[in-house]
Amino acid sequence: MILKFQPSNVQGKLPRRDAFPILFERVGLETPPVIHLSNDTKTIGSCLRCPVPPCTFYSADEMVNDYFTEFPADTSTKVCPTDAVQIDTERGIPAILSEKCISCGLCVARCPVQAIVLTRGGAHVNDSENDFFRLTGKPVDASVVEAVLRQYRSTPIRGHVVDAEFAAHVYERIVLIGMQSHPQFPNLLARNLMICNGISFLIRRLGDTNMRIDSVFDSGDNRLGVAEIEYSDGVILDSPRDLLDDCAVLHARYGVPLQTIDPLVVSLRFPNKRSEYWQVIQDISQVLKIRIRSITIGALLIIMWENRKLSQNIWQQLYADASAPTIEPALRELLACEPSNIAAYPGWSRAAK
């Protein structure tokens, strides 16, 4: 039986104490990462049955809003934007519903012991006991689990999992499964990818009519980011104009200095080179001196899949317009990879045509 509440009386699992992880090595889709241990042995991750599983829920610290408290934020703490990750109350493990899973890898990225495997049919949780990860026969105190997780979070990760073919597959699932799931899905996916990539990002509560801004985020150095999230190619042109309205509202009603606002468009993919979107961005920059940045869900996925984080000063590098409709230089610097690796994902980092 699968329910949506957190179990409190299940048998826990912990790693042995005579060794610790020194490296996670990714070996491709469908295959668990190899954990290299300090005693020259190897193993694979197994679900610890965390009292508050980070693959399923955000902690209170990750949802803090101390930069724009007037914003009517969606307070959902669920990691999965389609609600595919739920709790098996009989065993205390996260259970992933394949018919709801878009294979984005958010839950995979948030599992410190790498016990979740990304597959073409959806993510899969490994709960099998092995020589290193052992059942305790009783519930495990949350503080003990958290100490283990802190150690594993600091372990470096090497290798790649996703290729261009699988990335296209994920986009198909976003459209076919995610966009059909619930109205808040686009905003939740954007928010959760941003949080996973190291940025405090808030989305507006569904149904709130007092504020039209899709999102605000902490862009660092006492600056406020404001974002419009648009997945439809047909109406992406509205996003720059909506951001101008957002900037006006933040300045006129809340006293935020215009020069401290970082506007951002988050889209599913970039429009083609002939789209008026790029020219509007350029016109706004030249006439109003407001530089609207752009990023795609695809770019956020790549950053997460490569186990990188967005720095708070990256917004300056995410500017693209009609003269150069691309953010590839910023991604190459962040990911430390060859240009061809970024270009393999059309529309994710530059205008596709």
Amino acid at residue number 249: V
Question: 106-138, pLDDT tens digit by residue?
Answer: 999 999 999 999 988 899 999 999 999 999 999
* C-alpha–C-alpha distance, residues 38 and 42, integer Å: 9
The pLDDT of residue 163 is: 84
Find the Cα–Cα–Cα–Cα dihedral 305, 306, 311, 313, rounded to 10°.
-100
| Mean confidence (pLDDT) of the chain | 91
**pLDDT-derived band at 28, boundaries 50, 70, 90:** confident
Q: 164-176 and 297-305 helices cross at what angle (nearest 10)? A: 130
Residue 17: pLDDT band with limits 50, 70, 90: very high
pLDDT in the model for residue 8: 54
* Choices 3.30.365.10, 3.20.20.480, 1.10.10.10, 3.40.91.50: CATH for 183-343: 3.40.91.50
Percent residues over pLDDT 70 in the chain: 95
User: What are the tokens at 83?
Assistant: 């609600």
CATH annotation of 2-158: 3.30.70.20
Domain range annotation of the chain: 2-158, 183-343
DSSP state of 324: B
For the entire predicted model, the pTM comes to: 0.93
Is the pLDDT at 172 greater than 80? The verdict is yes
In the numeric block, the tokens 């939740």 are attached to 188
Q: By percentage, how much of the chain surpasses pLDDT 90? A: 74
3-state helix, strand and coil shares in percent for the chain, rounded to the nearest 5? 30, 20, 50
- pLDDT category at 87 given cuts 50, 70, 90 is confident
